[in-house]
Amino acid sequence: MGDAFKALALAAAVTVVLGPAVIAILKRLKAGQAVRQDGPRSHLTKSGTPTMGGILFLLGLTAASLALAPTSPLILSALVLTWGYALIGFVDDGLKVVLRRPLGLYARQKLGGQIFLGLAAGVAAVLWLGRGSAVHVPLVGITMELGWAYPLLAALLMVATTNAVNLTDGLDGLAAGVTIWVALAYGLIAAAVGQREMAIFAFALAGGCLGFLAYNFHPAKVFMGDTGSLALGAAVGFLAIITRTELVLPLLGGVYVIEALSVIMQVVSFRLTGKRLFRMSPLHHHFELLGWPETRVVLFFWFLALIMVAAGLYILAI
């Protein structure tokens, strides 16, 4: 675990050190975030805050991972996948905030890219990274051999995770803080099963997010944008694939799931009954409209993430 803790510290340090320069570049590019006009009024003051800041923790994650495991196929694969999803988000962010194209990438383009990368991750895990194609079902102790169907599960996992993290990224420090707990959990899981490289990658991910909070906690100086949220989801999804914990990820990343489900439930309820279940979705905005200060909502979700991570680790230990 010594190298994993070094990765955490190095990723955090690189992210913090590069922060001022990256934020200055984003301001020069006029990469300011537009704010939802139907959202909480307190968010109107955030208009113009630089976005695409996920590049910050990506640089920290990459530097730390390569410094401690420069030739690892697992590390290199994890970084390629994470940067691949980041590129989708970067193009989407760039179209929206730099080129002023309101909708960014078309939904089919964005989803198509996510599915392609998810399938590639599944194929690579089976053929080149030694993961195999079996899936373990926790609690009941059953292992299912999926064969060539496994890449389909991997693609579903990657698409679901990246979009759920994207929905979670709606308040200052929320997605980064939640992901710290999830990444630390995956670092412990990887270390427990002897995957040193994945422990390094997971702790580097946590360190990058920790360093990013120096600029992203309320009041945020920069937002991660789709560049960051899709990258976070990709990194977490890949960790689940390689550690063979795909079916535990919905619990370890329970906050992501809750946020995504709140959006789905809101849409279904409104279409079927004409009524909304929540004052606003994703769920974090519902609490804001109930009168909770933003930092209180964020800290509550961080605590909830810790509980769900602990529950997931407990199930794996049974």
In degrees and rounded to multiples of 5, residue 131 shows phi and psi of -75, -30
Which residues carry a binding-site annotation for Mg(2+)?
166, 226
β-partners of residue 144 are: 135
Q: How many CB atoms lie within 10 A of CB 264?
A: 11
CA dihedral 236→95→62→299, nearest 10 degrees, is -50
Which residues carry a binding-site annotation?
166, 226
Positive/negative CA dihedral, 183, 186, 192, 196? negative
Q: Enter the tokens of residue 98.
A: 């730099």
β-partners of residue 143 are: 136
| End-to-end Cα spacing for the chain | 22
Cα Rg of the chain (Å, integer):
19
Let me know: does 203 contact 4? Beta carbons within 8 Å. Answer: yes
C-alpha distance from residue 196 to each of 16, 50, 238 (Å) = 25, 36, 15
The letter for the amino acid at 156 is: L
